[in-house]
Structure 1
Amino acid sequence: MRFLRAVWAALALLATIHVAHAGEAATLRIGVLKFGTVNWELDAMQRAGLDKQAGLDLSVVPFAGETASAVALQGGGVDMIVSDWLWVSRQRAEGADYTFVPYSTSVGSLMVPETSAVNTLGDLKGKTIGVAGGPLDKNWLLIQALAKKDFGIDLAAANTIVYGAPPLLTEKAREGELDAVLNFWHYAARLEAQGFRTLISGSDAAMKMGASGPVASIGWVFRDRFAKDHPDVIADFLKADAATKQLLATSDAAWETLKPLMKAKNEKTFEILRERYRDGIPQRSPADEQKDTAKLYTILANIGGAKLVGPAPALVKGTYYDGKANGS
């Protein structure tokens, strides 16, 4: 009954949508990583019928990696993907018309064993640190900037840094081969369930470096041109997305059907994954987030240079979708 009430509440959010699709639902093709966490939300949306209620027919297209999904968007194989604002801004700086709507503030965290003597970034000097995402990962760059600001330490120079795939680094951390590991949020959550603790998250680092609140690292990405040609499709999808987030934020029962997708080894892991997802539901307006993103972008541009951000030293106008002219 609780689950039904949660679904009804989510459907009520969609009651304001005046679907202009007479007869046939509008198709929206969304490219996702085959085993990515975005699948959880889209599965919940479809199971609850929130996409249909919005007059949409979602086609979820799986890809093996982020590059493949980006190529599909660029080639017209899908209408929408999930990516980050750095990629969107860089593409706009190079003449493309992609734009971004916040999806989740869940970001990577720097994890240490519960019994570790490491309690601050300053304690990491001389340690072995695993980093997922490579040397230009924005969470890693922000954490390095914070360590330099607060402790005068160059983490990359003062430590042994091991870059690698998230599953490999997770296993190395479990086996004690790493003193700390910066991993994507859902891998960090799995480590939390196994006795690790968060030294600092990318979100915490961003706020210590000047952001006024959590900033969505990733978002729904699509072309301005697509939004201009199909404004109702974008508006209706974003309302369905908000309704799905409300459902997942309030209903534990809605998560039960997601267990096979989550691949949690035990109930503790499942519960922590669920709570960390909920922690990442954006609570601020995109306009407020955009102001903080512009601050973080400048910091990252100063650290990572053109290799990271391309030709634009500042966040490019139109990176965040506003539903209007959108910077064009």
Structure 2
Amino acid sequence: MSAGCTRRATLLAAGALAASAALRPGFAAERPVVRAGVLKFGTVSWELDTVRANRFDQEAGIDLRLVELAGNPATQVALQAGGVEVIVSDWLWVSRMRTKGEALSFIPYSTAVGALVVPAGSAITGIADLRGRRIGVAGSPLDKSWLLLKALAGDRHGLALDREAQPFFAAPPLLNSKIGDGDLDAVLTYWPFAARLEARGMRVLVTVSDMLTALGQPANIPSIGYVFREDWARANPAALAGFQAAIGRAKTLLAQSDAAWDRLAPLMQAEDDATFRTLRDRYREGIPRRWTAEEQAGAAQLYALLARLGGRELVGDAATIAPGTFWAGGS
């Protein structure tokens, strides 16, 4: 066979192979790419890694790619710069950005928030016992859980925690270390870190959901969610629908299958079996069960309370949640 014939045959074979691949269901070139900004060992990566491992993204008609970033501020910058399509944040931030003219939207990820944890043998049995105590708080003085705890302490016990206790604001890993060493009497922290303390035998004094209920607020509101640019969602409705379908299947699998969690063990970095099980169980408890107009109205109610407690430093110039914060779909 001549060189020309050989080249033509090769090209024909390559063309036939490409055509055959393109006809296969879920062929990658036909699927829109959705880039999600994640923290390498964050809880969101558990869910999205499950999506990819089980090809839920491909079956939903998308190609999900995870972009590992250094921290939550980095994920927000990446979203705003167009480096990723989706991140996880809270709806307070989404509303604040919308008020500034940046049209972001939110769909639920988790209702889990956090808890106030004390050592197993602590004499602290209620919020009133926090007077004079050393309280570690994850984040800053504007942390939403801290604002709620202060409000509850003031309303129910006449206790001004800012003045009558000793708050210590720091990153969650440091707080877990300090309470383990006996340097703190209590820690108010995010749910994965509270779960780790609980697995070590420490006692949950009150959850953030308990605080919300005591303050007359709905306790089943998704606190954090997947956040994306509204213009991207409107221009790519199939990509967003595919993403929602894929994460829905991952949540269902993680809610029902222990084997799915065994595969995630390296990502979870659990120190022992008790920690592994507690992290798994708390994630499952935080899976949103409903997201209707009722829950969205409850979030607006909670926003008003947080705006009153945190003021402009927390919510910016808007006393009420910005319209469009919660994605309603449509074109």
Q: How many Å apart are 1:119 and its aligned residue?
A: 1.3
1:323 aligns with 2:312: no
Counterpart of 2:253? 247
Name the CA distance, whole Å, in 2 between partners of 1:303 and 1:22: 48
Q: How many Å apart are 1:22 and its aligned residue?
A: 9.5
Query: Which amino acid is 1:174 matched to?
Result: G
8 Å Cα contact 2:221/2:299 also seen in 1: yes
8 Å Cα contact 1:140/1:202 also seen in 2: no
Query: Which amino acid is 1:76 matched to?
Result: G
- State the structure with more CA Rg: 2
Evaluate the alpha carbon distance shift between residue 125 and residue 22 of structure 1 in structure 2; reply closer, same or farther with a 3 A threshold.
Answer: closer
Counterpart of 2:312? 306
Query: How many equivalent pairs are there?
Result: 307
Query: Which amino acid is 1:177 matched to?
Result: D
Counterpart of 2:20? none
Counterpart of 2:284? 278
After superposition, the CA RMSD in angstroms is: 1.5
8 Å Cα contact 1:207/1:214 also seen in 2: no
Q: How many Å apart are 1:289 and its aligned residue?
A: 2.1
Q: How many Å apart are 1:21 and its aligned residue?
A: 8.9
Q: How does 1:13-32 map to 2 (within 5 A)?
A: 24-32=30-38
Query: Which amino acid is 2:168 matched to?
Result: V
Q: How many Å apart are 1:178 and its aligned residue?
A: 0.6
Counterpart of 1:168? 174
Name the CA distance, whole Å, in 1 between partners of 2:26 and 2:216: 43
Among candidates 140, 147, 151, match of residue 141 of structure 1:
147
Counterpart of 1:106? 112
Name the CA distance, whole Å, in 2 between partners of 1:93 and 1:244: 33
Name the CA distance, whole Å, in 2 between partners of 1:147 and 1:286: 31
Name the CA distance, whole Å, in 2 between partners of 1:20 and 1:177: 55
Q: How many Å apart are 1:210 and its aligned residue?
A: 2.3
Q: How does 1:69-80 map to 2 (within 5 A)?
A: 69-80=75-86
Name the CA distance, whole Å, in 2 between partners of 1:142 and 1:324: 35
Q: Deviations over 1:283-304 (max 9, x none)?
A: 1224222111111111111111
Which runs of 5 or more structure 2 residues have no equivalent in the other structure? 1-24
Deviates more, 1:81-90 or 1:279-288: 279-288
8 Å Cα contact 2:37/2:78 also seen in 1: yes
Taking structure 2 as the reference length, what is the TM-score of the superposition? 0.90
Which runs of 5 or more structure 1 residues have no equivalent in the other structure? 1-18
Name the CA distance, whole Å, in 2 between partners of 1:166 and 1:286: 32
Evaluate the alpha carbon distance shift between residue 201 and residue 97 of structure 1 in structure 2; reply closer, same or farther with a 3 A threshold.
Answer: same
SS where residue 82 of structure 1 aligns? strand
Evaluate the alpha carbon distance shift between residue 22 and residue 184 of structure 1 in structure 2; reply closer, same or farther with a 3 A threshold.
Answer: closer
Counterpart of 1:157? 163
Taking structure 1 as the reference length, what is the TM-score of the superposition? 0.91
Counterpart of 1:90? 96
Among candidates 185, 192, 198, match of residue 204 of structure 2:
198
Query: Which amino acid is 2:117 matched to?
Result: M
Evaluate the alpha carbon distance shift between residue 299 and residue 21 of structure 1 in structure 2; reply closer, same or farther with a 3 A threshold.
Answer: farther
1:294 aligns with 2:300: yes
Name the CA distance, whole Å, in 2 between partners of 1:228 and 1:51: 19
SS where residue 32 of structure 1 aligns? strand
